[in-house]
Amino acid sequence: MWSEGETIVRREVRNDGWAWCQIPVVVVRDEPDLLATFIPTGAPFTFPPGPETHPWSGRECWQGHGVLMLQRPGDSYAVWVFWHGEEREFRSWYLNLQEPFRRTATGYDTQDLELDLILHTGGRIEWKDDELLDLRVEEGRFTQDQARDIRAEGRRLAAELETRGHWWDAWWALWEPDPAWDSAAPVRAARHA
């Protein structure tokens, strides 16, 4: 378990074992049933060389207010909390479908599964990047079977949200990072990863 304020590394690792994107994140909470991490503004992206280009390559660092990520062990998604504008307004919950996170010595590994769901404050669910999933199949990143399984997980998750609501506390929409969690600590951690 990590301590609050500790900087660790979130890596996206493909099925072939290549970690093709990594970014330092700050631990907000680490408990048996919840890992909450934060990407602060200015946290640098690293794209290790390999046979393909990561979809985010060309971005040097995280921009905006930063993003809070809530994830439970074994879940095939993380809840990303974004804020917008000068007032740091909360608009929706962003459910990023991804492989369940796996702890490592320096942080955790996962892999983005392209498809996302947006849970608006009124309860409406919006599907995002479904067409990109088809493109990723054409590119060979996912198989047709994997895309079918990813969409099935999206439908399962949408049905769960509609029938039971969300498991996370709505308080997270009001959460604010420690002002000391600027990009300085993540930059130092990224150099040592």
Residue numbers annotated as active site: 128
Coil, helix or strand at residue 78: strand
Dist. CA 21–CA 12, nearest whole Å = 5
Sheet of 107-110: strand order equals: 102-103, 107-110, 7-13, 19-31, 34-39, 67-71, 77-84, 89-98, 112-120, 125-128
Dist. CA 69–CA 49, nearest whole Å = 26
User: Closest by alpha carbon to 90, among 175, 182, 183?
Assistant: 175
Question: How big is the chain, counted in residues?
Answer: 193
* Local structure of residue 57 (DSSP, 8 states): T
Q: Is residue 21 within 8 Å of residue 45, measured between CB atoms?
A: yes
User: Closest by alpha carbon to 84, among 108, 62, 66?
Assistant: 66
Q: At residue 165, what are phi and psi to the nearest 5 degrees?
A: 80, -170
